[in-house]
Structure 1
Amino acid sequence: MQVFELTEWGFLIALWVLTLAVFLLAVVFLPRLPRRRLINYAAQAVVMLLVSVLILTSVAAWLNRQNSWYTSWSDLTGGAATALPRQSYGAASPSRVAPQAITGQLTDLQKNPQDNPAFQDKISDAADHGQYFSVSLPGAESGQTYNVMVWLPKSYLHNSDQMYPVIMGFTGFPGSPQTYSKSLDYGHLIQRAVDEGRLRDSIFIVPDVMPGTYDSECVDGTIDQPRKKTPRAETFITKDVVPWVKENLRVGDNPQAWATTGYSAGGFCSAMLSLRHPDLFASGLVQSGYFTPDYTKGQRWNEPDDPRYDLPRIASTGTAHVNLHYFSSRDDPLSWPSLSAFRGHVSGETSLTVDSVASGGHRQDVWLPGMVKSLTWLGHSSPFFAPLPHTSRN
């Protein structure tokens, strides 16, 4: 019955009633049994253990309802969902573009990153599979300081004249850059795409602009909240992080050599930054993201009708020369309705490519194959991410 579906109140209420009944059995009925035999104590211990299991199950069910990790029993028990046909909106998304080399003048510090004090001796020449490291970056323009995680491909230290495209990643909320470096290992996804001839070697950058319980939504805020700093995250990303990367790493200036990516709240960041700053980012990869800010209670930084972050309105102007790739399950109650409200507004020079699966909810198991698809799409649609002939492998 629908009322007892995994995310419905009927299932939660039934679970709570069962937990209460078993608890009362343990503390009221079993102690009243005649003859306090060992079997009675054993039965009481088993029932209390069952109560503990039911309490943990109730907590998990409540968190699942709040976060939509699994939206149905079939999501919980089934395997990977079947991919649905690709959809396109707005301008035609480029496919199989001719690769172009990234060129430019390089400084000595860019050529020799291990001698660069900006990296504080964090780079190791012993890394065989690429390397992650983090730096604390004080933002001169934003006036705010955040950590920035960097992943360098294994080839970066072996060719001091090679220049690289950049993928800038954003986490969900709550989230952490460690999701990218450990749970997902996005650097490995990039390397695998390179080894399979789907993508060029790329640098991966993750500004930690939503640390802990701080939900910046990557925006510049206009509303102050008690005991929370008003974010200047958009300025930090665009005017502090991007110039820092260009100054210290071997990257190009062409926006087609820069892409954003993000899951959940980070998906909003990815779409917003590319649509609002097409002069910096020509591609945006969105996994189960949304297209208007979804502020956490007590952290609403702007008015709901703030035109700066009304992405459907921006897309409808058609002036942003940006290619977006979106991936989600269609039963995701957070992201899919937002896409449905957004896609009809995409027009002009903006393109939107949508890949999806029928079910899967709002969770990492859905985002991971979406990230793989998006990297392949990026290697096909951007000339500066397309693999160069001498680096591709078939």
Structure 2
Amino acid sequence: MSLTGPALVVLLLAAAVALPLVLVLVWRRRSGVLTGALRWLVILLCQVLAVAGAVAAANDSFGFYNSWDDLLGRTAKGGQAPTANQLVPADGSQGRIVSLPVALGSGQGGHGEHGSHAGERFRVLVWLPPQYDQPQFRSQRLPVTMMLPGQPGTPAGVFREFNFGGAATAAIAAGQVKPFVAVIPPIMIDPPRDTECTDVQGGPQAESWLDRDVRDAVVRHFRVSTSAHQWAVMGWSTGGFCAAKLVLRDADHFGAAVGLGGYYDSETDPTTGKLFGDSLWRREENSPLWLIRHATGTTRLLIVSSQQDRDSWAGVHYADSGAMVAATRGMPGVATIVLPEGGHNYHVYRATLPQVFSWLGANAGL
């Protein structure tokens, strides 16, 4: 049975409801020490099943783990290579998926501070639209959108939960965007550490992984544009933070960014470790909120958030999309989609993809 989807949630919750009924029957017909122990065992099992059902439902909504192997740590780095019909229809109507292994530190110029992880390969999903294989497009280099998952999260999970293949195919067919290639890399390259897509001094180079290693590998292997104007980056949750940071710190490689349910100030906590050492300067240089306040040129950024999203708009300590919207009000190139309701989940933000693609078509060379 799949780890994702409603079947597992329904099974767990149904078992949690059915077991108390069994307990009542046992309680009435039996007595003795053994029966008493059995009663307590069933009560405990009911609680475990109820909690497991709630956790499975949360995983189905947020895509923390994509498979049983992913949950148990048995997948290859960056996730298992998917077959095409797992993420897009096998008939090619929504394009095709290629799994591209990319080594840490393989980008132009190199960056040899990955330590024990240097040279490790992670799988990057590359979505090719139907037009990529059509004769009339074979002499064209297509624009690119990089899509970043949340933390934790997987490329396959974010692609599936956003119905990215279907939404992108529909946007191309509607003329909202030109045919484009999508690149979905993992952002967790030093698991389970949350690097916040940061080049950590003496540690993982998570920013360079995206803007050098992944970008260079895609340019080498696929017929895509090399112009920053035709490379956009979008991300979900932590991926939204990373997307904004990349467009502000690396305008030579990315021309536009979209944050979906993201946040915009650099944070550290027990899951990140000391990303910036004790340097306030390093922290500020990795904060999109600080960077955009000090930007000298035009930044093309779309901020998408819900006012009821406590993990993005306001609520938990790092939620600051509301502050980012206020700080950028009136700035050329910055646009917003502010939803009046909806929490921090795929269902809420998936519905905004048509508007997101329309904005990318007008602002990101797509």
TM, length-normalised to structure 2:
0.69
| Residue equivalent to 1:142 | 111
Aligned twin of 1:389: none
Specify the code of the residue in structure 2 equivalent to 1:142: H
Query: Contact 1:152–1:202 (CA<8 Å) still a contact in 2?
Result: yes
1:280 Cα deviation from its structure 2 partner: 1.6
**Is 2:341 aligned against 1:343?**
no
What residue is the counterpart of 1:180 in the other structure? 158
Of 213, 220, 229, the residue aligned with 1:247 is 220
- If asked which structure has higher relative contact order (CA below 8 Å, sep 6+), I would say 1
Indicate the SS of the match to 1:169: strand
Q: Does 1:318 align with 2:295?
A: yes
Contact 1:315 1:347 in 2 (8 A): no
Alpha-carbon RMSD across the aligned residues, in angstroms, is 3.8
Q: 2:285 aligns with which of 308, 316, 325?
A: 308
Aligned partner of 1:361: which letter? G
Q: What is the rounded CA distance, in whole Å, between the counterparts of 1:364 and 1:251 in structure 2?
A: 28
Q: 1:61/1:247 Cα in 2 relative to 1: closer, same or farther (>3 Å)?
A: closer
1:45-124 superposed matches below 5 A:
52-58=45-51
**Letter of the structure 1 residue corresponding to residue 351 of structure 2:** P
Report Cα offsets for 1:163-208 as digits up to 9, x if no partner. 2110011110110011134333312211110112211111001222
1:165 aligns with 2:139: no
Mapped pair 1:263 → 2:236: yes
Whole-angstrom CA distance in 1 between matches of 2:267 and 2:216 = 28
Aligned residue runs from structure 1 range 151-230, under 5 A: 151-158=127-134, 159-210=137-188, 213-222=192-201, 230=203
Q: Is the 8 A contact 2:305 2:321 kept in 1?
A: no
> Is the alpha carbon distance of 1:128 and 1:342 closer, same or farther for their aligned partners in structure 2, counting shifts above 3 Å?
closer
The yes-or-no answer on 1:362 pairing with 2:332 is: no
Structure 2: give runs of 5+ residues left out of the alignment.
1-15, 63-82, 85-89, 113-117, 315-319
Q: Alpha carbons of 1:49 and 1:328: their partners in 2 closer, same or farther (altered >3 Å)?
A: farther
Deviation at 1:262, TM superposition (A): 0.6
Task: Tell me if structure 1 keeps the 8 A contact 2:163–2:350.
Answer: no
CA distance in 2, matches of 1:62, 1:247: 41
Q: Distance in 2 between matches of 1:176 and 1:65?
A: 15
Distance in 1, matches of 2:345 and 2:297, equals 30
Q: Distance in 1 between matches of 2:141 and 2:358?
A: 20
Amino acid at match of 1:135: L
Whole-angstrom distance in 2 between the partners of 1:377 and 1:332: 22
Compute the displacement of 1:286 (Å): 0.8
Which secondary structure state, in structure 2, belongs to the residue aligned with residue 318 of structure 1?
Answer: coil
- Report SS of the residue matched to 1:167: strand
Between Structure 1 and Structure 2, how many residues are aligned? 296
**Structure 1 gap segments, 5+ residues each:** 1-18, 70-121, 225-229, 386-394
- 1: CA distance, partners of 2:93 / 2:187: 29
For 1:290-309, list aligned pairs within 5 A. Answer: 290-295=263-268, 297-300=270-273, 301-303=275-277, 305=280, 306-309=283-286
Offset from partner CA, 1:18-60 (integer Å, 9 cap, x none): x9xx99xx79xx86x7x748xxx8x999997676454444466
